[in-house]
A and B are shown apart, each in its own frame.
Chain A
Amino acid sequence: MKELVIVSGKGGTGKTSITAAFASMAQNFVLCDADVDAADLHLLMNPQPYSTNDFIGGSIAVIRQEDCSSCGTCLELCRFEAITDTFEVDPVSCEGCGVCVDFCPEQAIDFPKQKCGEWFLSESRMGPMVHARLGIAEENSGKLVSLIRQQAQALAKQQARELIITDGPPGVGCPVIASITGATALLIVAEPSLSSLHDMKRVAELADHFRIPQMLCINKYDINREISDEILKEAEQRNIAVVGRIPFDQAFTHSMIAGQNIIEHGKSPKLIEVLTSIWENVSNSEQMCTDSSQIIPIISTKQ
C-alpha cells in the first residue's frame, strides 16, 4: 500500500484543491484529510459519513470547589498558568498533565477524559474518505491525525485499495509530523513567493529528517517567474523531483464555489491538462508506482 501526503509548509498554496483534483484521476484509493485543525477537503468532496466516532484526547483537571481547601499546591505546581487565584482551572490553558490531580492533598481535583473532536468514515462520489473535526481550541491534533491515518490504512486494507491520498496540514509542527511519518512520498505544493520558498525549505528539511522522499509542484507559478525559478533551483539542489507547474487561474476559486474539483468543473482545459500531467508524474514516480515495470523518470518541466 502506498500513501501520498500533500504538504506545503506555508498555508493557502493549494494543497486541498490539488488533492481533490487527484481524486478525479487516481484509481482504487482512500482519501484522507489530515488537516484536522481546519479541514476543508469535505467542502469539495461532500462525503457522507456512515460511521461517526468520538475522538477522546487527553484529560482536563476540574477542581471540586466544595472539597478545595485553597492550600495553593496546585497553583504552585502548575507550569501552564491554568489555575486561577480563585482555584478554578482554565480548560484552555490546562495541558492535561495531571500533576495537580496527583498532588492535591485533599484529592479535590477530578481528571475527566475529554471529547476533543470527531472522526468519520465516509463515502464520497469518488470513493471512501476518512476525515475528522477537531474541537475548537483543542489540543492533541497530532494524535487525531495519527488516528485517522491508521483508520485510512485499515480501510484501504479491508477494501483492497492500493493507495491513500492524504491532504496534510500547513506548518512543520506536531500535526505535520504526525501526517508524514511513514508516508511513501510527499508532494510539496509551493507558490512563487519568498514566504513559500522559506517555508518549503523547512518542510523539506523535516521530511529529510524522517527520510521521506519528496516531489514538488509550483502553483500560480506565473505570478512571479523569477521566484518560481528559485524554487526549481532549490528543488534541484535538494534532489526533489519537480512534477509540474500550475498557472494562476481563478477557475480554482470558481470550482470551489461550485463544490467541485477543478477536473469536474471542466471550465479550464489548461488546468485539466497540467493537473493530469502532474498526476501522471506523481503516480508513475519511483516511489508511488505500484508496478515497477511502469516506472518512468520524471522529466523536469523547466522551460
Chain B
Amino acid sequence: MIISVASGKGGTGKTTISTNLALSIDRRVKLLDCDVEEPNAHLFINPDIHTDETVYTMIPEIDQTLCNGCRKCAEICRFNALTVIGEKVIVFPELCHSCGGCVVVCPEHAVEEGARELGIIETGSRDRLTFIHGTMRVGEAMSPPLIRKVRSKIKEDDLVIIDAPPGTSCPVITAMKNTDFVLLVTEPTPFGLHDLKLAVEAVKVLGMPCGIVINRSDIGDHSVQEYAAQEDIPVLLEIPFDRRIAEIYSRGRLLIEEFPTWRQTFKMLYRDIVEIIESKQVIQ
C-alpha cells in the first residue's frame, strides 16, 4: 500500500504529516522523501543512514571515430540536446531527457550511453521505519528521473508513505502516480485553497482517492471546508494553529515526540486512510 502526501502549495505541512504519520503506525513502514529538490524529512527523522548511492541518467556520448556527421541524432532529438557543427556532434547534456532516440537512430552505432549525475539516494532506518530519500544535485534541472529512482526502491507488499514535492506539474505527478491514496495538506487561506483545487484536479487526472488535512486550521476562513464538502472529499484531520507546534517544527522535532497524544491522532488518520482505500472510493 502506498500513501502519498502532496499539497499544491509549498510550506503547508507535507513533511510534518508524512514524518509523524510514518512513525505512528504500528507496522513496518518505508518513508520515501520524493521532494528531491528540497528534501527535509531527514531533518525530522534523523535516520541512521546505511547506504548511499550516486544515481545517473543516460546521456549520449559520441564516438567521434565512428561518427560520420550524418545529423540523424540531432534530427531525432526533440530537446535540442544534440547539434552538429560541421561534421562534429556537440552534446548539451543538461538538455537531454534520456529518451535514447539518438542511440537507436545512429546508423554507425557511434552514440554510446554515457551518464549525467542526478543526485544521491540515501537509505537508512529509525526503529522499524525504513527511510529513503533522494537529494538532487544542485544545478540539475530535471527532478522526475531521480524521483522515479527513489520510487524504484519500493517492493511489493511494502507499506509506503511518500513525501511529495509541491506544485501540480511533472515532479509531483511522478511522485504520486500509481499510489493508493493521496493525502492533500492545505491551509485555510486563499493561497491554500487555490493550490488545493489545482492539486485535486491533478489527483482527478490520475484517478486516485484522496483526503484533506487542514493545517493551521483556525488561521483563515472556512472556504477549504466548504470546498471539501462541495467536492465530497473527506477532511481527515485538522490541526489548529499553535505557536508551540511552529516552534517544534522549526527545530526539526516531531509533534509525536513533544506531544505524545498526537500519536493516537495519526494512528486514527492512518486507519481512516486504510478504510477509504479498502472501500475503493474514487473521486470523479
Do the beta carbons of A194 and B251 come within 8 Å of each other?
yes
Q: Is residue A292 contacting chain B, with contact meaning CB distance below 8 A?
A: no
Q: Is residue B11 contacting chain A, with contact meaning CB distance below 8 A?
A: yes
Question: Measured between alpha carbons, how far is A193 from B247 in the docked complex, in Å?
Answer: 8
Contacts of B247 in A (CB 8 A): 223-224
Q: Mark A79-104, 1 if CB is under 8 A from B, else 0.
A: 11000000000001101111100110
Contacts of B143 in A (CB 8 A): 171, 173-174
Question: Measured between alpha carbons, how far is A235 from B219 in the docked complex, in Å?
Answer: 31
Q: Is residue A270 contacting chain B, with contact meaning CB distance below 8 A?
A: no
Do the beta carbons of A141 and B169 come within 8 Å of each other?
yes
* Number of A-B residue pairs at CB separation under 8 A: 180
Do the beta carbons of A198 and B43 come within 8 Å of each other?
yes
Question: Measured between alpha carbons, how far is A77 from B97 in the docked complex, in Å?
Answer: 14
Question: Measured between alpha carbons, how far is A173 from B174 in the docked complex, in Å?
Answer: 14
Do the beta carbons of B136 and A13 come within 8 Å of each other?
no
A92-B177, A97-B78, A209-B138 known; A11+B9 contact, CB < 8 A = yes
Do the beta carbons of A257 and B10 come within 8 Å of each other?
no
Contacts of B173 in A (CB 8 A): 92, 137
Do the beta carbons of A257 and B221 come within 8 Å of each other?
yes
Question: Measured between alpha carbons, how far is A206 from B181 in the docked complex, in Å?
Answer: 34
Do the beta carbons of B40 and A195 come within 8 Å of each other?
yes
| Chain-B contact segment, one of A35-43, A118-126, A279-287, A293-301 | A35-43
Among B28-55, those with CB < 8 Å from A are: 37-38, 40, 43
Do the beta carbons of B11 and A134 come within 8 Å of each other?
no
Q: Of B97, B142, B165, B206, which is within 8 A of A137 by CB?
A: B206
Please name the residue on chain A nearest to B177 by beta carbon.
Answer: A92
Do the beta carbons of A223 and B246 come within 8 Å of each other?
yes
Contacts of B140 in A (CB 8 A): 173
Do the beta carbons of B100 and A172 come within 8 Å of each other?
no
Q: Is residue B20 contacting chain A, with contact meaning CB distance below 8 A?
A: no
Q: Is residue B243 contacting chain A, with contact meaning CB distance below 8 A?
A: yes
Do the beta carbons of A92 and B105 come within 8 Å of each other?
no
Q: Is residue A47 contacting chain B, with contact meaning CB distance below 8 A?
A: no
Question: Which bracket fits the contact residues of B?
Answer: 35 or more
Chain A: residues with Cβ within 8 Å of the partner, total of 60
Do the beta carbons of B138 and A202 come within 8 Å of each other?
yes
Do the beta carbons of A172 and B38 come within 8 Å of each other?
yes
What is the distance, in angstroms, from A122's C-beta to the closest C-beta of chain B?
17
Q: Is residue B63 contacting chain A, with contact meaning CB distance below 8 A?
A: no
A-B pairs, top 8 by smallest CB distance, nearest first, are A11-B10, A12-B11, A97-B99, A171-B37, A224-B250, A37-B167, A174-B141, A99-B101
A-B contact pairs, 23 of them (CB 8 A): A10-B11, A11-B12, A38-B167, A40-B191, A79-B99, A97-B99, A99-B76, A137-B168, A141-B167, A141-B170, A171-B37, A171-B38, A172-B136, A193-B252, A194-B250, A195-B40, A198-B40, A206-B139, A223-B243, A223-B246, A256-B189, A256-B190, A257-B189
Chain B residues packing against A (C-beta within 8 Å): 8-12, 15, 37-38, 40, 43, 58, 76, 78-79, 97-101, 104-105, 136, 138-143, 165-171, 173, 177, 189-191, 194-195, 198, 201-202, 205-206, 219-221, 243, 246-247, 249-252
Extra 5 A-B pairs, beta carbons < 8 Å, given A97-B97, A171-B37, A193-B252: A137-B173, A170-B10, A173-B136, A195-B40, A224-B251
